[in-house]
Chains A and B, each alone.
Chain A
Amino acid sequence: MNNRLYGNLIFELSKEGRKGYSLPKNRFGNYEIPASMQRQEPAELPECDEMTVVRHYTNLSANNFGVDNGFYPLGSCTMKYNPKINEEMAALPQFTNLHPIQPAETTRGAQAVCTLVKKALCELTGLAAFTLKPFAGAHGELTGLMVIRGYHESRGDETRTKVIVPDSAHGTNPASAAVCGLEILEVKSTKDGLVDLEDLEKLVAIEGPNIAAMMMTNPNTLGLFERDIPRIAKMIHDCGGLMYYDGANLNPMLGACRPGDMGFDVMHINLHKTFSTPHGGGGPGSGPVGVRKGLESFLPFVSPYESGNFAVVMRAYAYILSLGKENVKMVGPLATLNANYIKECLKDVYELPIDGLCKHEFVFDGLKDKSTGVTTMDVAKRLLDYGYHAPTIYFPLLFHESLMVEPTENESKDTIDGFIAVMRKIAEEAKNDPDLVKSAPHNTPIGRVDDVLAAKHPIVTYKQMIHDNN
């Protein structure tokens, strides 16, 4: 990563008449597009030669930090290394040239990939069937909730419109439920960070006939395994509801415990987390949805083609094959070991609100020594100076200074020890030179940004920027 800002916009490099393309000559004769069909003003797109375009985006990339640059302990995001063979396989022209509505007999190889991936996902989760249609985790969540509502509707159970969600849940859970026309019932967490069974019992007693489902991720967002999951599933099933598993935290369960065996009926998987497809700066992902036997017919039409984000599915399959049955089961234990090791090595200087074994991730509540005024935000920004991506901050909402670390199974002890040393150094700096930490980052292309200015006076296009400058 380059520490100097390359700040140009492609529009600022544009010169009239420059071309970055070449096209065949028109040999079809004179087919003029009627003027009545045409736009009045041309789209003001940049005019650049190919070299200018290539240099521009190459320089932009140098202002970015990815997993290939360094350690990316972003909690809940499972930032694994993305093996390069997966990229090459996904780009094979025998697959990328296929039109999605090509006759089935001409796409046998592509179909085989989908069938094999679905089979592997069933095996790894203990569920009966999967669809690859959902494009992302949130899309999968919505799809799964549609399955659940569809199931209740089919039984004439129209009153079941409420979904129980723990207060520690990812924000997408309640948002997906709302898009699906469902209401949220929040269940509290105990001081140990687990679902409060008493509170849940009360909710079930009052709302039983209205409960469509309970949505959970296990381990939960604190990285803690919900050990009462069999009892929770029974409570929900007994009142007629279904159990939804948010697959965001599936990684530590590989080799340890399957959602189907925990009692879940419907789930989504983030292929871009557990199965190592690249996050691409925010997408494309893939969020296959699995269901228990008997629910297959409720899988809804949420995207046009059964293959979903097919090129992402291709990468996931290459990853599964490269690991094989022998190594898949090491994923969870090694991710869990890495997380616990970091936690144990840092808990004397960072506040660990809930002690004990975590799974793939854990949450600190900021620095132990609060007297310095150095916040979780400051620690996160200072980490950038040392060449690390920051952990997830201010989530979950249960603590004021949440700092959520997820190392994944990929990282070596050397890398992890390096991170631990830097985290300890920052804790020292917070004591000895708090202003240094509070004003971080110092070694990045830009300093802290003015979020308020951006939101108060939104400038979201180049045209608006030019207009504003005038």
Chain B
Amino acid sequence: MMEKVGVKSLDDLYAEVPNEIRFKGDYQLPEQMSEVEVRQLFEQLGSQNEQLRCFAGAGVYDHYTPAAIPNLLSRSEFLTSYTPYQAEISQGTLHYIFEYQSMMAELTGMDISNASMYDGTTAAAEAVMMAVAAGKKQDTVLISETIDPKTLKVIETYAHFHGIKIEMIRQKDGTTDQTHLNDLLSQHQGKVAGILVQQPNYYGVVEDYSDYADTIHEQKGLFIMDCVAADLAVLKTPGEWGADIAVGDGQSLGIPMQWGGPYVGYMCCTEKLIRKMPGRIVGMTKDNRGQRAFVLTLQAREQHIRRQKATSNICSNQSLMALWVTVYLSLMGKEGLRDAAKLSYAGAHYLCDELQRTGYFLLTYEQPFFNEFCITCDKEVDILLKACVEEGFLAGVKINDHTLMLAVTEQRTKEEIDELVDTIRQIMEEMP
């Protein structure tokens, strides 16, 4: 091969690289490991992680993964393919993305969906930019204080560099303060491109968003809702609330927590906004043999065609995780997704009742909740959480020194919940 290329050594292949920047030494890296050594190392590292029974949520939920999903996802025709540019040999990918789009549109009650985004937080940031791009010189977006603080922080990062102004709508007793929203709208008249709220909100509360859509539409802005995907099996949908854009994380649809990712963001919107939407979209068409076929479409919005004028810089989707969600929704179907949601709801309400019965806790917000809730006690939450870890429980997420947030999924058994409550009761008894 070297002869054909006309070089005498592999070094000659870099003849044009100036000598002063050539890398000549050895990399300070581990020596090559055999497969068995790699396995042993990872297993040893794995043993340094503690396996806890999970009652934490805050956007990431420990739902069950049906066995068929990882099995189907390991099919390397899916796993090792690239973005489906060559439609003729990518119908597998294009088919499931079309199914994914259809299912997410159903779940959110919206007209259409894109082919998926990185995660829920970046999907929310993209929605904020989309609202501003769709507006006419409207550069402000109002965001409820009841949104996940991590989502807010990501949005603020994007907004700062993109030149978008963020105003916070105050919260009152764990819900969005509609009076303050109206104040902000009149204060920033003509400047508001959209409002963003979360459902269930960060504290697990199911909020009433009646009138929000009408209010913002009067000012020609968009209503954006960020929802926990799995809960939409049961909850009133963004479509029913009159939202223009629905975003969120799809992790709750059977994706393992895997210490932060990969997950999948979803973005759905009204048909009217399709050409303003970022990300890939798959559409139906025909091939030259008259067969129904699927293809990446509306690419004129995208970076590889529009470069700096694109709707976003995003040039991929979270395809394999979209497949994960698609298989999950296919298996669970119309009934299963609802049943899992109802079970999570029942478990969370049972846990909440039992914790209150210990006499140490009060429900922080007297509001309806779904499968996650905040409780307040007069002891230090940090100490409580630490003591629970020693008993093998991840007993929730700290909200502040005296408030704890717990979530329950269909995976948590009654025995586990009873054991958690007993453990907490004991810890509280012994705490000074």
Contact = CB atoms under 8 A, between A and B. Distances in A.
Contacts of B235: 37-39
Given A98-B49, A305-B259, A340-B7, 9 more contacts: A26-B343, A37-B236, A45-B337, A48-B333, A135-B119, A178-B309, A256-B23, A314-B42, A389-B89
A103 to B, nearest CB: 6
B17 A110 contact: no
B187 interface: no
Interface in A1-51: 1, 5-7, 9-11, 14, 18-21, 23-24, 26-29, 31, 33-34, 37-48, 50
Interface in A359-389: 380-381, 384, 389
B120 to A, nearest CB: 9
Contact of A324 (B21, B31, B49, B343): B31
7 contacts: A33-B345, A37-B370, A64-B91, A171-B307, A171-B315, A181-B162, A301-B156
A109 B48 contact: yes
A48 B330 contact: yes
A113 B41 CA distance: 10
Contact of B291 (A56, A227, A446): A446
Nearest to B317: A282
Interface string B45-60: 1111111101010111
Interface stretch (B68-76, B171-179, B355-363, B419-427): B68-76
Contacts of B54: 97, 99
B245 interface: no
A127 to B, nearest CB: 13
Given A45-B334, A95-B258, A305-B260, A325 B26 contact: yes
Given A87-B74, A123-B29, A450-B286, A45 B92 contact: no
Contact of A63 (B48, B92, B113, B206): B92
Interface stretch (A137-145, A197-205, A238-246, A424-432): A137-145
B292 A7 contact: yes
Interface string B24-48: 0011111111010111011111111
B258 to A, nearest CB: 5
A66 interface: yes
Given A175-B303, A447-B289, A455-B298, A26 B346 contact: yes
A445 B43 contact: no
B428 interface: no
A292 interface: no
A230 B21 CA distance: 8
Nearest to A445: B91
A284 B258 CA distance: 13
B285 A72 contact: no
A325 B105 contact: no
Nearest to B289: A447
A101 interface: yes
Interface in A107-123: 107-110, 112-113, 120, 123
A269 interface: no
A328 B31 CA distance: 10
Contacts of A230: 18, 20-21
A225 B16 contact: yes
B80 A441 contact: no
Contacts of B213: none
A336 interface: yes
A301 B111 CA distance: 32
B31 A458 contact: no
A302 B99 contact: no
B260 A175 contact: no
Interface string B91-121: 1110110110111011101011101101101
Contacts of B86: 65, 380, 384, 389-390
Contacts of A21: 66, 331-333, 336, 339-340
B321 interface: yes
A103 B389 contact: yes
A282 B32 CA distance: 30
A66 B81 contact: yes
A300 to B, nearest CB: 5
A23 to B, nearest CB: 5
A370 B70 CA distance: 48
Contact of A45 (B66, B106, B158, B315): B106
A21 B284 CA distance: 29
A30 to B, nearest CB: 8
Contact of A463 (B2, B105, B237, B397): B105
B318 interface: yes
A325 B18 contact: no
A455 B305 CA distance: 14
Quick one: which of B29, B78, B103, B236 has the most chain A CB within 10 A?
B29
A447 B87 CA distance: 9
B18 A24 contact: no
Contact of B45 (A109, A174, A305, A444): A109
Interface in A77-130: 77, 79, 82, 85, 87-89, 91-103, 105-110, 112-113, 120, 123-124, 126
B154 A301 contact: yes
Contact of A64 (B44, B92, B349): B92
Interface stretch (B188-196, B218-226, B274-282): B274-282
Given A256-B17, A447-B288, A43 B332 contact: no
Given A303-B122, A307-B259, A461-B102, A46 B32 contact: no
Contacts of B47: 94, 109
Interface in B186-239: 206, 232-237
Contacts of A166: none
B58 to A, nearest CB: 6
Contacts of B44: 109
A453 interface: yes
B50 to A, nearest CB: 4
Contacts of B33: 321-322, 324
Nearest to A141: B313
Given A103-B389, A280-B78, A310-B260, A324 B29 contact: yes
Interface in B100-153: 101-103, 105-107, 109, 111-113, 115-116, 118-119, 121-122, 129, 150-151, 153
